[in-house]
Structure 1
Amino acid sequence: MSLTTIKLQPLTEKHLSEVIELDQICFGGLWSLEGYKREIESPNSTLLIITTDIKNEEKIIGLGCFWAIVEEAHVTILAIHPDFQRQGLGKMLLEKLLKQAKEKGLERATLEVSEHNQSAIALYEKFGFALAGRRKKYYQATGADALIFWKKLT
């Protein structure tokens, strides 16, 4: 599906039902409605969404989040709706998240990704993330390991 207008903006409560739907599609229900509400209210969370117009209606097609923990940005979510992947949206979202982390004075970024998610791993490596470790059987649904990646932001 091609995109005409895309916007990158902070997640607000008015978007929550759509974000829950995207979370379900991309992660099988990683976070609950209450979880997203807590994230919106937390001064340590940065949540961004990507929207586009589909049939004259704004739809959420991407979601990203990081937590500011001491001097680190922990990227907790990076999701693009499957119908809109491979169009540079994940790159755009990650770029904006890392820019905002730098603006907050954070020095490093970290994230976990499934060992089987080759497209995400390739994206993170393009941004200079380096493999730092592995969490064995981290993903309960599949038993897959999580790869831990780190990057200096300064």
Structure 2
Amino acid sequence: MGYLYCQAPGHDDIPALVALDQLALGGLWSAEGYGREIDSPNSCLLMLLHRPDGSEGAEGDLSTASMADPQISANLVSANSVSANLDRATLLGLGCYWAILDEAHITVLAVDPRYQRRGLGKWLLVNLLKDACHRDLTRATLEVRPSNSLALALYESFGFETLGRRHRYYADGEDALIFWQNSLKNADFGDLLRRQRQRTISRLERQGWQISGEKMSVNRTWNRTFES
């Protein structure tokens, strides 16, 4: 099926981000909003990208070439083609958190509806939490719909717990559950994140995906965070 990898977007990627936002979230953020997230030092915004087999690029190792350069140019023609032009990369998902004091506030986790229920959202969450740990944040929080059973199960599998409720939080009047994970710096959470990472890699590889970036800087960051 090709290579999967996460990387930070540049401003050229905003049209593709907005199109995926429309597909998966109904238009949560505007182009200006994504521009602010890209520019903010307190925001971690990640794209989940796919390249077909045989498109490793000039360096021969797709992970090294792609992760080192955050400027993959994206140019969306229509909402049915969320693609980045450079090296035939296709945007499959996006995730974001805000670093507020010692907290990672997860604001977006979205996957193209055509690729949902395959473990891609879980892979994005693994990478967001890994980045939060590398920033030495101690806890993570988010809001989620009580009716979204799949999202609830996903976050609970990473140790998130319900610690509150925001009444009529969403535009349609539904409440939001406030989820917290307060142990990002604990060794037990490091072990949990490793297990979830490996399970997700195994699941994706069984579907034919190749996980790019496992041999390079993103993996060395992981080692520094949990194994130094």
1:76-111 deviation per Cα after TM superposition (whole angstroms, max 9, x unaligned)? 000011111111111111011011101111000000
Is 1:30 paired with 2:31?
A: no
Structure 2 gaps, min length 5: 53-82, 186-228
Amino acid paired to 2:47 = I
TM-score by length of 2: 0.64
1:101-143 deviation per Cα after TM superposition (whole angstroms, max 9, x unaligned)? 0111100000001111111111000010001111111101x21
Amino acid paired to 1:147 = L
1:23-69 deviation per Cα after TM superposition (whole angstroms, max 9, x unaligned)? 11111111110111011100100000111136983211100000000
1 or 2 for the larger relative contact order (CA 8 Å, sep ≥6)?
2
In 1, the alpha carbon distance for the partners of 2:162 and 2:40 equals: 29
In 1, the alpha carbon distance for the partners of 2:37 and 2:158 equals: 25
The match for 1:148 is 178
In 2, the alpha carbon distance for the partners of 1:108 and 1:20 equals: 28
What is the aligned counterpart of 1:75 among 106, 110, 118? 106
Give the secondary structure class of the aligned counterpart of 1:5.
Answer: strand
The match for 2:158 is 127
The match for 1:106 is 137
Higher Cα radius of gyration: 2
Backbone CA RMSD of aligned residues: 1.4
Amino acid paired to 2:156 = E
C-alpha deviation, 1:13, in angstroms: 1.2
Amino acid paired to 1:149 = F
C-alpha deviation, 1:4, in angstroms: 2.2
Identity %: 50
In 1, the alpha carbon distance for the partners of 2:9 and 2:150 equals: 25
The match for 2:11 is 13
User: Where in structure 1 do 4 or more consecutive aligned residues deviate above 3 Å?
Assistant: 53-56
Amino acid paired to 1:91 = K
In 1, the alpha carbon distance for the partners of 2:127 and 2:51 equals: 20
User: Which 10-residue stretch deviates more, 50-59 or 88-97?
Assistant: 50-59
The match for 2:122 is 91
Structure 1 gaps, min length 5: none
In 2, the alpha carbon distance for the partners of 1:15 and 1:53 equals: 16
In 2, the alpha carbon distance for the partners of 1:78 and 1:30 equals: 11
In 2, the alpha carbon distance for the partners of 1:15 and 1:40 equals: 10
Quick check: which one's helix share is greater? 2
Is 1:57 paired with 2:103?
A: no
TM-score by length of 1: 0.93
